[in-house]
Structure formats: C-alpha cells, structure tokens
Amino acid sequence: MKAWRFYGFGDLRLDEVPVPQVTERHVLVEPLCVQPSVTEAQLAQGIPTLAYDRIRRRLEQEAPVQLFGHEFCARIVEVHPSIKNFHVGDRVAARAKLPCGKCGQCLSEMGHRCRRGPVIGFDLPGCFSEFAILPENSLVKVDDNISDSEAACLQSLSDSVASVETANIQIGDSVVIIGQGSMGLECLQIARISGAGRVVTVDVREESCQISRELGADVALNAKQCNAVQAVLDLTDGIGADVVFECAGGSPRQGLAGTQTLRQALEIVRSGGKVIGVSWFGAPLELDIDFLRERSLRYLFPDISTQAHLEHTVRLVASGRVQLQSTIRHQLDGLETVPKAFEITANKSKYQAINPAQVILHR
Ligand SMILES: [Zn+2]
C-alpha cells in the first residue's frame, strides 16, 4: 500500500509499504477522508508546539516513520475475531489520545487523566495511507446522517466538547469566545446548547464573524473594527463575562494571535470567572499571576476528550445541533495531495481556511 512517511521535519515521501496485519482488539480500515490537525501541520515543518520533542525523537531514532492522521473518517475492511462491536463496512472516526488501560487512573475509570497511553498519529500510525490499523478503544461508529467530510472533524469536535464541559457553564452564563476558527466556532455552538446565556464572539476576519453570527452568536465582534475588551465590558455593565474561551492564541508565524488574546481574555472575564485555555502557544509566556490572584480568576485547561465525548459529537452532528460544513473550504483529491493539505492547514490565514484542508480518498 501507499503511505506517507516522514524522513525528517519537512521531508515526507509517499512510499510503498506492506499492508499492516490486524492484531487483537484492532481493525483494518480504508481512510475515506483525512485532514491534518493544525498541530500536525506545524509539527510536520518542525515548528515547536504540543508533542514537538516526542516527534523529534521519533524522527531521529526511527525515520522513515508514518506520522499524523488522527482526524479522519474511515471504513472498516477487516476486524480481528476478538472484536464484537464493529463490523466490516462500518464507517468510523476516532479519538486521538488513548488511555493506557493499566495505570491506577485507568483502573479507577479516570482514563481521561492518564498521560501514559498512545496518541494516534504521534505514537501509532494514523490515516495518511491507503490502509491503517486502529485500536478498537479509539473508535466510534459514524451515523448515516454524517458525511465523510464532517466525520473527519469529529475528533477535533470532541476536544471542543471537552473544553465546554471543563467550563461547567451555568444556565444563563455570559460567554465570550475569542477566536472563530474551527474550534472557536465549535465551542460557540456547543456552549449555546449547554446553557449559555448571551454569547459574544471575537475574531479579526469579517468572514469568520459572519459565520459566527449564522451559527448563533448573539454578538460577533470584529476586533479590527472595535476595541473588543471595551465592547465586552460595555455589554456586561462593566463586570465582564462569566466564562471566556481563548481559542486564538499561538504562533503569529502561522497567522495566530500570539499571547495578546490571552491577555484580553483575562481582562474581559469577570472577577471569579473562568478562562478556558484552548490554544497552544508553543513557548513559555509571562503572566501577571498577582492580577489573576487579586481577581480570583480560574484559568482552566480542557481535559482530554473521552469516548463519551466522542459519542456525544456523533449525536450533535447527526441531529444538526452542531454544523461543520460552513467551515470546510479546501478539499483535495487523492493521497498525493497530502503535502498541499499540510501547507494550507499550517497557513490557514494565507489560504482563507477555517477548518483544516481535507484530503478525499474515496468519493
Ligand atoms: Zn493509564
């Protein structure tokens, strides 16, 4: 079969490799639609972010190596006899970070706290290939109402579900979401159906603000045309929002907002309110902790998404409560287009992309 293998950062080649054998509690799948995550697109070029050291070590010790490809929709073509709940022909998506199943946290049904398990695409081969082997405990069946293209977004959506759950929104809470990229737009839609009162979104792209309004933001602020901090304070009688999701930060080289949006989030959250850190920054940053302390702020980070979160995403999309289609702008045909998908996804603002670029492997 053909599979993309990395020989180093920025050096990926479409190689001929053996079709992997199905092992216990695993299935063999044929990927139908796959997209690089933003993190993968950055790591592919050697840009420091989540899991950079782990990927660098693997490249140094194991290259050429099949990396990335945890956001996908695939069809099962073979199941190991040990598997009862999945069948040949089922369409599936997967969560990326898996529990180890052996540590004290896992054995106490706290697998979402486990950091010892493998990550699909980082430690196990993902779906930038004609076939792939996947562990049963990563999989969810895709509902017939969900397209292949939408299903490829379910993994990322499950992280957004975990982010909103971490916020523990109370009915009527005012919610601000800074950044209306794909995760920001997902957090917007999930927050709305999870009890949020007024929802205000912030972005610097008018197009994203427009989509945000269409997907239910009560107010979508274009931070290029107004002072977003002042606007939120005006909307909340100077008190600030109950919950702020920070989904815009990250390396300005990739068109992200640096650390400025985190500082804005800390200014527009009310005293005692919660800031949910969805972004990855790729480097340490300085924060005035006394400012957080004085205002009793909660700066929280989402838990790893669980199987329950992933199953919830299937219901959210199948029932139309979360819409994904309007953010998918770039669809490329065939496995050869994978490097182009990485290029677009690593430079979303340059290509006016919102969701990562998708690679369609079977129409
Ligand atoms: Zn564990």
Find the length of the chain: 363
Q: E-assigned strands of 46-106?
A: 71-79, 91-94
Using the mean position of ligand 1's atoms as its centre, give its distance from the Cα of residue 232 in Å.
Answer: 41
What pairing do the DSSP bridges indicate for beta strands 139-141 and 199-203? unpaired
Smallest Cα–Cα separation from 39: which of 97, 103, 108, 116?
A: 97
Using the mean position of ligand 1's atoms as its centre, give its distance from the Cα of residue 108 in Å.
Answer: 9
Unique residue bearing structure tokens 């677009």: 344
CA 279-12-91 angle, 5° bins = 65
Q: How far apart are CA 138 and CA 292, in angstroms?
A: 37
Using the mean position of ligand 1's atoms as its centre, give its distance from the Cα of residue 106 in Å.
Answer: 4
pLDDT of the residue at 109: 87
Using the mean position of ligand 1's atoms as its centre, give its distance from the Cα of residue 138 in Å.
Answer: 14
Smallest Cα–Cα separation from 228: which of 258, 181, 274, 260?
A: 260
Residues with CB under 5 A from ligand 1 (ion): 99-100, 103, 106, 114, 116
Q: How far apart are CA 353 and CA 181, in angstroms?
A: 9
pLDDT of the residue at 263: 96
Unique residue bearing structure tokens 């309110």: 273
- Residue 166 phi/psi, 5° resolution? -60, -35
- Crossing angle for the helix pair 182-192 and 206-214, to the nearest 10 degrees: 20
Mean pLDDT per block of 10 residues along the chain (363 residues) reads: 98 98 97 96 91 96 98 98 97 96 93 93 97 97 98 97 98 98 96 98 95 98 97 98 95 81 97 96 90 97 94 97 95 98 93 95 88
**What letter does residue 323 receive in the DSSP assignment?**
-
